[in-house]
Structures are given as C-alpha cells and as structure tokens.
Amino acid sequence: MFDLIKFEFKRVISSPLIYIVLGLSLLVGVVSGASGLFNQNYGFLSMATGGSLYVSTTWTAISGFYTVFPIMGALYVTLFVGNDMSSGFLRNKLIAGHKRSHIFFSYVITQTTVALVELIIYTAAALLTMLIGKCKLDFDGGRMIVRFIVLAFAYISMIFLYTAFTLSVRRRALTIVFSTVFAFSLSTVGLIATFGNYSFFEYSKYEKVATEAKPLLKTCLKDIVPDSIPSGDYDDAEDMSEYGLYGIYSVDDIDNAYDNVIIPLKPFYYTVRAIYVVTDAGIPSDYGNSLIGSGYNDKLVTFLDTYVNSMDGILQSFGSFENVSSEMSDLRAELKEVNTTVDYTVLNTIYLCKTFVWSVIWLGGGCLIFRKKNIF
C-alpha cells in the first residue's frame, strides 16, 4: 500500500490541476486577509473595542476558507478521482494486483493531504497579509486555534465524502453534480439550521412567551388604533407607514405574523432541530458570531429577543405604550430566561463528535461499497 500511496502522490504532483487548486488557495487566503484588514480599518468591526476587534479580524481571516473550499474540494476530488474511474486507470490497478481497500485508502490519504496543504497555504497567506498590513493578531488565548481545527476537520470530512462517493459511483458527471450541489447547499442548510440551535425545552419557553404576548397586541389594535388613526385612512396600507405600524394594520395581520414569522411552526422547528443536532450545518453561524465580537460566540444569536423588541416598537408607535408596559416588561424578563448560551468547549466537543461520526460513515460505507462494486 505504501508504494501505491507514493505513486498517487507522484501523479498528484504531476497534474496541472493541483497547481490551479493551490494557486486558488493562495488567492483566497490573500483576499481573506485583506478582508480582515478592511474590517479593522473601515468596516463595521471598527465599532468593536479592545481585544474583541482583533479576535474578530483574525477569525475573519482564518475561517474564510469554509465558504469556498468545500466547492473547490468537490470539483478537485471528483475531477481527479473520477477521471481514473471513467478512463479505466483504476481498473488497471486491480488487474495489477492491488487490493481494493488499499486503492480506496490511497485515494483518501492523497486527497486528504492535498486538502491539508490547501489549508496551510490559505492560512499562511491570510495571516501574512494581515501582518504586512500591520494588523495585530490575537488568537484569544488559543481558543481560536481550537475552533479553526474543528472547522478544518469538518472540511476534511467533506473530502472523505467526495472521495468515497466518487469511488462508489461509475458515472463521473453524477459525482461532480452531487458533490458540487452538496457544497453549494451548505450555506443554505446552515442558515435554516440556525433556527434549531436551541433545545426543545428552550423552544417551549419561547413559545409560551410569544403566545402570551399575542393578546396584548390584539388589545392595542382594538382599543388604540381606532383613536390613533383617522377613519378612512385605516384601510389605506400606503398611509399606514405615517403611523409607524410596520405592516400591522389589523388583528388579522397579527395572526398572519404569528403564522409566518414570530413562532416557528413545530414541524419546521423539529425538522431544523434534527438537522442541527445530527449534522455540522450550524458551524458557520455558531462560529461566525465572533465576527461581531459577541463574546466569541459563547452566546448563540437567535431571533428570540428581536421578537419582543419589535412588539415594543409597535406599541410605542400607538402612543399608549404605558397601558401594557408592565406586562411587556414581564414577558421580556421571561424571554431573557430562554437560554441560548453554550460554552465554547462544549460547542467544540459537539462538532468534533458529529464530524467524527460522519467521517466514519463516509469512509466505512464508501469502502464497503467500493469493495463490492463491479468496476469491470
């Protein structure tokens, strides 16, 4: 197997495609480093103070690979390994007497090594760009390095998937399409999964507060709106903006807001919660909070508090906020009890465990399929 791995590395080095991939890694690294510099000097991160600013800009630089590399890795693996499948080169290896398991893991090892080299080049380019720009680097006492390792492991797990899938499917076009679509869908799935980054227990607490707040809004509309808005204008949606009602024109609008925005429907929540629990889809959002210096992501940002803030604004627009001020304050206090805080060590452990499980599934399942697959 060692000779097979050496042979694969020679093929990788002699392939023009590898230099394109490494060149892109260098370019993306420079762009990420420059982006960190921009955020420090001109971007919204300049509002941060002290160490949080440097933590944010440094994290911007070293974590940016996670948005581009999954796509780049999908294309490289499927093109390089898939070409061996379609050209018959892999079949020749079997004829030469190599074991299928050795062939499988020789591809996994070489493709993983390429991915690690990509990460090294990217990270060095990003940090060097920031140093040249005289940006102070701060790794938050080493915690950021740990989180970077978690992200890197998640990316390597994708390489396992791409390699295993390419070796398990004969059709080259299908492997390219699947792997690329999978990589592109990560951001969308990750965005949806963020709605499930709090537990069932916390969801129940949030639902209780939101449900209790609903009649308060209806009371305001019934009792206050007719006195606050001249009759004749009430049904004119175009004029409602003058009264600061933000799209709430009637009691029916409150029901619509609840049905579509305020309280996540249970089937939707249960679905995204399941996605969040069993996959790595939440990594970009969970770790991305450090970009705005929010306690280095110790607090998972959700839309919970935004809900009550929005209601406060609507009530104040009627000029009679005092009528429900105390009740709203009580609800706000209850909402603050909804816990969305996860210690960073726990968060890292969760993602490492999930990534390990998926890696075993990709490698184990791919190897089993490849050993039984009819390649001739």
- Cα-atom radius of gyration of the chain, to the nearest Å? 26
Question: Which stretch of DSSP H or E encloses residue 35?
Answer: helix 16-41
Neighbours of 333 (CB within 10 A): 11
Cβ atoms within 10 Å, residue 141:
11
The owner of tokens 């465990």 is 353
Q: How far is CA 220 from CA 213, 226, 245, in A?
A: 11, 10, 12
DSSP letter, residue 263: S
Kindly state the tokens that stand for 131: 């140093």
Domain ranges of the chain: 2-183+345-372, 200-281+303-336
CB 177 within 8 A of CB 87: no
The pLDDT of residue 50: 45
Token pair belonging to 17: 């495609």
Residue 69's alpha-carbon distances to 75, 122, 264, in angstroms, are 10, 10, 32
Written as one string, the DSSP assignment of 139-177 is: -GGGHHHHHHHHHHHHHHHHHHHHHHHHHH-S-HHHHHH
Q: pLDDT in tens for each of the 376 residues of the chain?
A: 777 888 888 888 988 989 999 999 999 999 988 887 776 665 544 444 444 455 567 877 888 898 889 989 988 988 888 887 777 777 778 777 778 888 889 999 999 999 999 999 999 999 999 888 877 787 877 888 888 999 999 999 999 999 998 888 877 778 888 888 888 787 777 777 767 777 788 778 777 777 777 777 666 655 554 444 444 444 444 444 443 344 455 556 666 666 655 565 677 788 888 888 888 887 877 776 544 444 333 333 344 455 555 555 555 555 555 555 667 667 767 767 776 666 677 888 889 999 999 999 999 998 888 887 766 5
- In sequence order, the 6+-apart residues with CB closer than 8 A to the CB of 152 are 116, 119
The phi and psi torsions of 80 (rounded to 5 degrees) equal -70, -55
DSSP-assigned states of every residue in 320-363: -GGGGHHHHHHHHHHHHTS--B--HHHHHHHHHHHHHHHHHHHH
DSSP 250: S
Buried b (16+ CB within 10 A) or exposed e, 319-330: ebbeebeeebee
Instruction: Yes or no: say if 373 and 91 are a contact pair by the CB < 8 Å rule.
Output: no
The set of residues, in sequence order, having a beta carbon less than 8 Å from that of 1 and lying 6+ positions away, is: 99, 102, 105, 106
CA angle 322, 326, 329 (to 5 degrees): 115
